[in-house]
A and B are shown apart, each in its own frame.
Chain A
Amino acid sequence: MIRIKLKIKFIPYEKTCNDNFKDLLKDLQKDTIILIDAKLKPEQEAELIKKTMEKVSEKFSGIELSSIDISPEKDSTLFEKLRGFVFQLTTGKRRGMTVIGPAHIITKIEKNPEELMLYV
């Protein structure tokens, strides 16, 4: 039986924003899968793709990323909605999570919408 070891590292949302994905990309180049405790803003996703492209080389082909979005609009009950809005207002974060993997390890991520399927 073949066993595969995967390293998953948690990076708080605030930290990814502060250093403009610098450390995150270093980790990704060291075969680490990254988990962020929020959904990135579209502008941040675009920035991350740009920064990734700058790092692409023969050894590092890029990333696979996907996120689960628990936006306040999508929450079911009024209370949940309210909680989501308050969370976004007070923390500036979008509720949800983001998974980013090095493309040579994670070949595909399927989104389903509350589940993520990672293909190794």
Chain B
Amino acid sequence: MLSSISGIHRHIRNTFNALLSKIFKKKPDMKLGLYGPVNAGKTTLANRICLDWLGEELGKASVIPHETREIQIKEKVTMNHNGKSLNFNLVDTPGIATKIDFEDFLKYGMKKKESKQRAKEATKGVIESIKWLDKMDLVLVVIDSTQDPINQVNITLLGNLDARKTPVIIVGNKIDLKKSNLKRVREAFPQYEVIGISAKNDKNMKELYAQLFKKL
């Protein structure tokens, strides 16, 4: 008896939610993707967003490149801003690269066998990231603002998102570092919104959230 009442209750709620999302023309499973070159800070940013809105982290960040080698999804993240709320699934992707040399991992004290395995997984991760581009409703292209923004990964990424008409915000990460140069990022991609943040030190996240609300 009790369970059937809660079942009916759930049914009504689900119908109501479906109706609401139809009215507002919002897909219930909207995907917000974090894309960018290796080590830019995508997972650190994903963790920051999840900590801010869910109180838990999403994945492991690391100085060693290609730490994320599989797509990671945190479902049903809800953000609130000025009385409005935003629902989406947060998708952290493996960093995209045009080359992966297993010997690079040896420098971090990894064994040869482990390095080769990591390289293999990393190549698969890059392919997955590219395949998933089609599924995204909004993408944050995360760039390490201490590095030259005109690199082929950024160019290919932005070009593909542009061809798909996917809305993009460029996130210039690591502004806490002395070498950070946001001006250079803005000059490289003048047609894009560029928000400077430090995902690690929790700097300027409010501005990024405000921009997200503007885009969606």
Question: Which residues of A are interface residues toward B (Cβ below 8 A)?
Answer: 41-43, 45-46, 49-50, 52-54, 56, 58, 61-66, 103-104, 109-111, 113
Contact = CB atoms under 8 A, between A and B. Distances in A.
Nearest to B119: A56
Given A46-B130, A50-B130, A111-B150, A62 B156 contact: no
Contacts of A53: 100, 123-124, 126-127
Given A42-B162, A43-B160, A111-B150, A49 B102 contact: no
Interface residues of B, number: 26
Interface of B: 96-102, 116, 119, 123-124, 126-127, 130-131, 133, 148, 150, 152, 155-156, 158-160, 162-163
A64 B98 contact: yes
Contacts of A110: 148
B152 A66 contact: yes
Contacts of B98: 49, 52, 62-65, 103
A54 B152 contact: no
A53 B156 CA distance: 15
Contacts of B131: 50
A103 B152 CA distance: 13
A52 B126 CA distance: 10
Nearest to B159: A42
A58 B102 CA distance: 7
A19 B123 CA distance: 22
B99 A46 contact: no
